[in-house]
Amino acid sequence: MQKYIIIADDLTGSNATCSLFKKIGLRAASILKLQNDINYDVDVISYSTASRGLNKEEAYKKVAEAIKILKNKDVLVYNKRIDSTLRGNIGTEINAMLDNLEDNRIAVVVPAYPDSGRIVVNKTMLVNGVLLENSDAGKDPKTPIKTSCVETLIQKDSKYSSTYFSLADIEQSLEKIVKKIQKAIEKSKVLIFDAVNNEDIIKISKAIIQCDINIITVDSGPFTMYFSKELQKKKHLEKKILMVIGSVTETTKKQIEYILQEEDIFLVKMKVESFFEKESRTKEIERVISFVKKGIESYDLFLVTTSPIGDQKKIDLQEVAKKLNTSIENVSKIIADTLTETVEKLLKETQKFEGIYSSGGDITIALLEKLKAIGVEIREEVIPLAAYGRIIGGDFPNLKLVSKGGMVGDEKTIKLCLHKIKNDI
């Protein structure tokens, strides 16, 4: 079930907002036709009503019809995607959203898009330093803009009263902004905000989250993205990636050392010496699982490894094989099986991970066997000999996977692989 619903007034805007959601690790799809019985297998559904150039009655009807089909009790965020230069039937379409969601929602309007040169200061929108009415949008032959006043453009055709928050309001402490919002919603169903940079938008997002109110976001994308990201943090919905590395090559060692410096990673080093007796093996698996669970809400990247780190020496397989009166191949199999059994149990007991990075051929094979996968759909090559795809079948179908040989790549390779997974989940 989709957790994020976007109702855009044109397809370009619909696509653009999907791209922003991808940046925070959500799977997003822009759809052209509404159907009740289709499973899109994504987190975000964005639908364009193509209503920007319609009369207000038709625009209201199209938005109302769309929200009636898409609304669901499990949805976390509803967004009324508007044009970044405020063209279209904004007030009317906000009416349609609020009227048809039926749960006393507040419309939070943050029109600024700083990364695209759109900022709002004291109710006035500037586009690349030019007044909105003097920009190309102001001269649009279909929907020209005749004022730069954001409040005027938002309130046109709106049946709900609004409260405006200036930059002076936003520069106050978070506590004071929250109090002003709480007071404003006693009389207003629409809140409109100035913003000149992304930090302003993030602060507004945090204030709205703290107010704990039902809202619809109204913007051209950035506010909805940052608000959704803050909401993910609050509800612990961040998409997490688990790295499982069993290779003992110098290449792998350098890659691990590099990624530990570059990213905030929850590191778990498994005690290989505990793997070869049943009781100690079980205790080591339980220790690792318990340890990871303690950090699961605070981290997004986890590394479980048997690889030597820093000055640690790699295990002497020949010596262990001799001591156990077995083959080196069997010792390697025990290590791979123990490491991947730990990962399998972590996946099942946490249900938090959306992607896996696996280094070492033996580890990847053992992992796929543990997860009862029937194969991997390869989507693309990250670097030569490192493939990205998704697991087919088994206990975790569609789990994202990057698999890489232990001697493959340079020190930045793990970071490239993680980036690939992050961008797709």
For residue 406, the domain's CATH number is 3.40.980.20
User: Which of 407, 318, 315 shows the shortest CA–CA distance to 360?
Assistant: 407
Indicate the SS3 state at residue 399: coil
Residues 359 and 401 both lie in one domain: yes
**278-329 pLDDT, tens digit each:** 999 999 999 999 999 998 878 889 999 998 787 777 788 899 899 999 999 9
Give the model's pLDDT for residue 424.
64
Last residue of a domain, one of 211, 234, 257: 234
Contact 150, 163 (CB under 8 A): no
CA distance linking residue 140 with residue 3, whole number of Å: 35
Q: How many domains does the chain contain in total?
A: 2
**169-193 pLDDT, tens digit each:** 999 999 999 999 999 999 999 999 9
Last residue of a domain, one of 191, 211, 234: 234
Give the model's pLDDT for residue 50.
95
Residues 228 and 359 both lie in one domain: no
Residues 253 and 118 both lie in one domain: no
Last residue of a domain, one of 234, 254, 288: 234
Residues 19 and 61 both lie in one domain: yes
Residues 52 and 70 both lie in one domain: yes
* DSSP per position, 255-313: HHHHHHHHS-EEEEE--GGGTTSHHHHHHHHHHHHHHHHHHTTT-SEEEEE-S--TTPP
Give the model's pLDDT for residue 273.
92
CA distance linking residue 235 with residue 182, whole number of Å: 21
CA distance linking residue 38 with residue 292, whole number of Å: 36
Exposure b/e, 157-183, CB count within 10 A at least 16 = b:
ebeeebbbbeeebbeeeeeebbebbee
Residues 252 and 214 both lie in one domain: no
Residues 251 and 387 both lie in one domain: yes
**378-409 pLDDT, tens digit each:** 888 888 888 899 899 999 988 999 988 777 88
Residues 305 and 269 both lie in one domain: yes
Mean predicted lDDT score pLDDT of the chain: 91
Give the model's pLDDT for residue 344.
96
User: Which of 144, 117, 122 shows the shortest CA–CA distance to 133?
Assistant: 144
Full residue range of the structural domain in which residue 366 is found: 240-424
Radius of gyration of the chain (CA): 26
Residues 364 and 215 both lie in one domain: no
Q: Residue 296 carries which side chain, given as an amino acid letter?
A: I
Give the model's pLDDT for residue 299.
87
Give the model's pLDDT for residue 314.
78
CATH of residue 63's domain is 3.40.50.10840
Residues 262 and 178 both lie in one domain: no
**23-32 pLDDT, tens digit each:** 887 889 999 9
Sites in the chain below the pLDDT cut of 50 = none
Residues 407 and 292 both lie in one domain: yes
Give the model's pLDDT for residue 418.
86
Give the model's pLDDT for residue 281.
95
Stated pTM of the model: 0.66
Residues 73 and 54 both lie in one domain: yes
Structure tokens at 145: 């803009």
Helices 222-234 and 198-211, packing angle to 10 deg: 50
